[in-house]
Amino acid sequence: MRSKVILRVLICVIVFVLLFICLQRLLMPKYTREAEEGRLTAEYYGSDKNHDVLFIGDCEVYENISPVTLWREYGISSYVRGSPQQLIWHSYYMLEDALRYETPKIVVFNVLSMKYGEPQNEAYNRLALDGMRLSSTKINAIKASMKSEESLMSYIFPILRFHSRWNELNSDDLKYMFCSPPQLSVAGYLMRVDCRPLKTDPPVGHQLMDYSFADICWEYLEKIRTLCEENGAKLVLMKAPTVAPYWYAEWDSQIVEYANKHGLAYYNFLNSVAEIGIDYTADTYDEGQHLNVWGAEKLSSFFGKELASLGAPDRRGEADYEQSWAKLCERYDEVKQYQQDILEQTGTITGFPVPD
């Protein structure tokens, strides 16, 4: 009798837990039709954790750096760990999370996020953090990122946030309930093959009252530097060659000073546009805000030389690397061709279309 009761209790617990899990999996947004970048964080876990260079930052890295180009030209194995408007504390915890799986030799941080000293909105927090595997790093990331109206529990049990999606469910929610949607990025890089040229001079930023970065940003930059040091990784700072958001000279000088103080390499690619060969009438898909694949390949080709000089090893010829990068290169070419076909057929590209 007692064992019957225990069995029933066990069955109840299992049924309720399974029900909870299934409902959560059903109602979590799959980011297949909107805000596709929400898949980026989780895609990292499917990669072979054999990266010598890790890029962290916002769309200025994941849309402007092509790891496949770095591999093809320099044998550099890299990954871009980014998310939309990734704030510096997101970047820190993304790095800490990645370091649980691998130890890169170089970590490249894009400094644009130094301008954001406060959580921006819940949506960007979600896009960055929901895909992270549950760990103490994720808990700390949530606590550092949460806006006042958010709750920790809604990140640990995302159904508490997304349950109201029940009347927005579509076939993808059912299709990808227990499996991942098609790989959106290639080693963390999101590709666009189309072009929308910059038609005017690059926009100039308005004068600001105060050019100083928030204390919290300096705190996290220092944490990133220390974390890299503790893990034997070289921290490299970069600023992507994009015309918006505007990167003020006053901001740049602070980064230069910090880099000099700590002996860090800092590459402001805005100063090397001509040298890189970027043409804002051909190498951008949104008037210079992000590079398209042609611009990303140019930048990566240029940057790769620097990374190699900083000690990024050439892994060509090593069997494991050749195997995993062969697949990635194939996927890269596949995505490029797929988008070019769409462009040819329809004349326009929306989002980041990829083949299944």
Q: Which residues bind another protein (CB under 8 A)?
A: 5, 8-9, 11-12, 15-16, 19-20, 23, 27, 34-38, 58-59, 84-85, 122-124, 127, 149-150, 153-154, 157, 159-161, 163-164, 166-167, 199-201, 203, 206-211, 244-245, 286-287, 289
CA nearest 161: which of 29, 265, 10?
Answer: 29
Q: What is the 3-state secondary structure (H, E, C) of 197-235?
A: CCCCCCCCCCCCCCCCCCHHHHHHHHHHHHHHHHCCCEE
Residue 1 or residue 319: which is nearer to another protein going by CB?
1
Shortest distance, CB of residue 288 to another protein, whole angstroms? 9
Q: What share of the chain is helix, strand, coil (3-state, %, to 5)?
A: 50, 10, 40
Token pair of 129 as six digits: 């953090």
- Is the peptide bond prior to 313 cis by the omega test (within 30 degrees of 0)? no
Smallest distance from another protein to CB 37, Å? 5
Report the residue number, 245 or 311, with the smaller CB distance to another protein: 245
- Structural contact between residues 65 and 187, judged by C-beta atoms closer than 8 angstroms: no
Measured between alpha carbons, how far is 162 from 180 in angstroms, rounded to an integer? 18
Give the shortest CB-126-to-another protein separation in angstroms: 10
What tokens were used for 190?
């999101």
Nearer to another protein, 200 or 337 (CB): 200
Residue 62, token pair as written in the block? 């994941």
67 versus 288: smaller Cβ distance to another protein: 288
State which residue, 14 or 326, has the beta carbon closest to another protein: 14
Distance from the Cα of residue 52 to its chain's centroid:
17
Q: Please identify which residue in the block is written with the tokens 């062969």.
A: 326
Q: Which is nearer to another protein, 29 or 304 (CB)?
A: 29
Question: Of 179 and 209, which has the nearer Cβ to another protein?
Answer: 209
Reduce the DSSP state of residue 283 to 3 states and report it: coil
Q: Which is nearer to another protein, 19 or 326 (CB)?
A: 19
Residue type, 59: C
Contact 117/143 with Cβ under 8 angstroms?
Answer: no
Is residue 93 within 8 A of residue 137, CB to CB? The reply is yes
Least gap, CB of 44 to another protein (angstroms): 17
The distance of closest approach from Cβ of residue 3 to another protein in the complex, given in angstroms and rounded to an integer, is: 12
268 phi/psi in degrees, rounded to 5: -95, 100
The minimum distance between CB 146 and another protein, in angstroms, equals: 11
Minimum distance, C-beta of residue 74 to another protein, in the bound complex (Å): 28
Minimum CB separation of residue 315 from another protein in Å reads 31
- Which residue, among 298, 237, 307, 292, has the nearest Cα to 74 in the 3D structure? 307
